Amino acid sequence: MRARRWIMAGMLAALTAGAAQAEDGRFTLVLKGISAGTLSWSGDGAPGGAYAVRGVLKTSGLAALLKKVRYDATAKGSITAKGTYVASSYAEDANTGKRQSKSSMTWQKGVPSVQESSEREPKPWDIDPAGQKGTVDPLTAMFATLRDVAPGQECKVNLNMFDGRRASKLILSGRAEKAGKVTCNGEYRRVAGFSPKDMSEKTRFPFTVSYEPAGGMMRVVEVAMDTIYGKARLVRD
């Protein structure tokens, strides 16, 4: 009986560890054919449980000589049995090259509240966080988009985001498969909280996400997008 209990306990531990197995990824940001930075993240989580993720984005190479940018963030929440991400907390430490800031958000019953250390005068286009129920933070959205998925589950991202000031939307659709590789069409959309100049400049940013098989799962190997700075790609290292 004792041996049987040990065997059952070991099997349960293995299954639990597999369900919340840690994942990580590192991408190089290529802008106009030049390496401009890196994006790295690590996280874990599975449907029906909690998730936690940390991400770091920073400039490198020539871009770092021109402008040093660093974004370091953490996020936590839960994933429903159907795979929906529910954010609970988010914190970021950012250096844009012009200013440094630290901010954080928490969600209660799906509604975010914002705490921010850096002072900022209110703007006419600011939006009320109370109206952003059901949103997730940018890091959670990135994690949901870039993590490994089971074959056939690609291109199933539809998230409303809130970064503490601005509301936006991220969508993946249009799954296409060829020779075992999968491509999705995506769109990042500015919704509210952006300045009139930003909204007049551009509101929709199309991109594509490419997957390749990796150990029985499908892994994102490249994200190609249009930015206000030109064509850019995130290429998995």
**What pLDDT digit, counting tens, does each position of 204-227 carry?**
999 999 999 999 999 999 999 988
Q: Write down the pLDDT at residue 1.
A: 39
Q: Using an 8 Å Cβ cutoff, are 86 and 145 in contact? A: no
Stretches in the chain below the pLDDT threshold 50: 1-19, 65
Q: Write down the pLDDT at residue 12.
A: 31
SS3 24: strand
Q: Write down the pLDDT at residue 64.
A: 54
Q: Write down the pLDDT at residue 43.
A: 97
Among candidate residues 163, 51, 54, the one with its CA nearest the CA of residue 114: 163
For residue 47, give the DSSP letter: T
For 219-228, the CB contacts below 8 A with 24+ separation are: 219/148, 220/25, 220/145, 220/146, 220/147, 220/148, 223/27, 223/146, 223/186, 225/188, 227/31, 228/201, 228/202
Q: Write down the pLDDT at residue 96.
A: 78
Q: Using an 8 Å Cβ cutoff, are 205 and 226 in contact? A: yes
Which residues of the chain form beta strands (DSSP E)?
23-31, 34-45, 49-59, 70-79, 85-95, 100-108, 111-116, 158-162, 167-178, 181-192, 204-214, 217-227, 230-236
Q: Write down the pLDDT at residue 62.
A: 59
Question: Phi-psi region for residue 14, left (φ > 0), alpha (ψ -120 to 50) or beta?
Answer: alpha
